[in-house]
A = this chain, B = another copy of it.
Amino acid sequence: MPAPGPDRTAYVADWIEIRTLTAVSGASFDACDCDGYAATFTADGEMWLDAERLSAGRDELAKLPAKPRGFVHVTTDPIIELDGCTATQRCTLLLYRRSRDGSKVSLFSTGRYEDRLVRTDDGWRFARRHGWLDINTTAVTGS
């Protein structure tokens, strides 16, 4: 069980910053804000889904939300461990899909994120996000 360690004040501030970064990343993706999404990663950040690396570096990352698929990314139940200027996050993912005509939203899958983060001059950023879906599919990447 991760524990805050001696400096509890720094831990809670970093915890909230990492949760905010996670929220900004998901909201940027869902709004097709490509640059905003890419900016939540480090310059050489990577996004993985199941066994596949989807993107490496901000140029590739910025293309992920570009295809409008109407997803809604929800994260809950984070477990965050800090080690100086690096951190890991494990959280639950709920991935929803909006129908094209706006009449319906449905659960696509539950899943998990396993994230590695680094503290940069601009704050915490994802060095690597690894999403795992509970359903088996390659349809999500649209390839």
Interface residues of A (CB under 8 A from B): 1-4, 8-13, 15-17, 19-24, 26-27, 39-40, 72-80, 90-92, 94, 96, 98, 102-107, 109-110, 122-123, 134-136
- Shortest A30–chain B CB gap in Å is 9
Query: Are A2 and B20 CB-contacts (below 8 A) given A76-B76, A92-B72, A107-B106?
Result: yes
Chain B residues lying within 8 Å of A24, measured Cβ to Cβ, are 1, 79
Complex-state Cα separation, A48 to B134, whole angstroms: 27
Q: Determine the chain B residues whose CB is within 8 A of the CB of A123 once the complex forms.
A: 1, 3
Contact A27 B79 (CB under 8 A): yes
Q: What is the chain B residue whose CB lies nearest that of A36?
A: B1
Query: Can you list 28 contacts pairing A with B, beta carbon distance less than 8 Å?
Result: A1-B20, A1-B39, A1-B40, A1-B123, A3-B123, A4-B13, A4-B16, A8-B9, A8-B13, A9-B13, A11-B16, A20-B79, A23-B78, A23-B90, A26-B92, A27-B77, A72-B110, A72-B134, A74-B110, A75-B76, A76-B76, A94-B94, A96-B110, A98-B134, A102-B136, A103-B136, A104-B135, A105-B110
Question: What CA separation (Å) do A109 and B104 show in the bound complex?
Answer: 7
B residues in contact with A75, CB < 8 Å: 76-77
Given contacts A1-B123, A96-B107, A98-B134, 5 further A-B contacts (CB under 8 A): A20-B78, A22-B77, A27-B92, A74-B92, A103-B135
